[in-house]
Amino acid sequence: MAHTPPEDPQRPLQTVGHVLDSRWMMALAVAAVLVAIVWALVDNRAGSPSAVDPFERRPMATVELLGVPARAEVTLDGREITNRRFGVTPGTRHLLEVRDDEGRSWRQVFLADGSLSLVVELRTHFVEVEVEVEPSDPERASD
């Protein structure tokens, strides 16, 4: 934008006041927009049920393990846990595994909604292998 020179060179320009006024107006407009955004966010969180996480209102589901040997290792979804009574997110699948130092194990997939008690029964898993054995005494082999 080109400014036209003032008619009287001795008279100062009056644009300084207009620039300051427009800057203040811009600052007030930006502040008003920020206040409106903050107000909308706070109002959404406090009043709108859709903005609240649905699991926040639901209590944790309680799971209790019964019959777990004292030195057994218990994992929930791949992470070791030390308590035999614990809470899980309701409505989701979970994997429990229990193993002891004798090689016995137990595994359970469950979906809890409220309170759940699980009886752990450790079992040894056998693998069948065929083995051919040749007699070591040749005299007995002919009998």
Q: pLDDT tens digits for 15-36?
A: 555 556 778 888 888 899 999 8
Q: Is 106 exposed, middle or buried (0-12, 13-18, 19+ CB in 10 A)?
A: buried
> What mean pLDDT comes out for the span 65-89?
91
Please tell me the pTM assigned to this model.
Answer: 0.48
Do 47 and 86 belong together in one domain?
no
CA distance 74 to 82: 7
Mapping DSSP to helix (H, G, I), strand (E, B) and coil, where does residue 40 land?
helix
Q: What is the DSSP string of 45-72?
A: HHH-GGGS-HHHHSPPEEEEEES--TT-
The pLDDT of 110-132, averaged and rounded, is 82
pLDDT of residue 115: 87
Residue 114, domain member (yes or no) = yes
Q: Please tell me the total count of domains within the chain.
A: 2
| Whether pLDDT at 79 is above 90 | yes
Average pLDDT over residues 79-105: 91
Amino acid at residue number 99: R
Are 46 and 79 in contact by the 8 Å Cβ rule? The answer is no
Q: Are residues 31 and 58 in the same domain?
A: no
72 contacts 125 by C-beta, under 8 angstroms: no
131 lies in a domain? Answer: no
> Which residues pair with residue 106 across a beta bridge?
98
71 and 45 housed in the same domain: no
Identify the pLDDT of residue 135: 74
- Residue 141 belongs to some domain of the structure: no
Task: Assess whether pLDDT exceeds 90 at residue 131.
Answer: no
Containing structural domain, residue 26: 13-52
Average pLDDT for the chain:
78
Q: Rounded CA gap, 105 and 98, in Å? A: 5
Q: What is the mean pLDDT of residues 61-89?
A: 91
**Res. 141: pLDDT tops 60:** no
Mean of pLDDT values over 106-126: 86
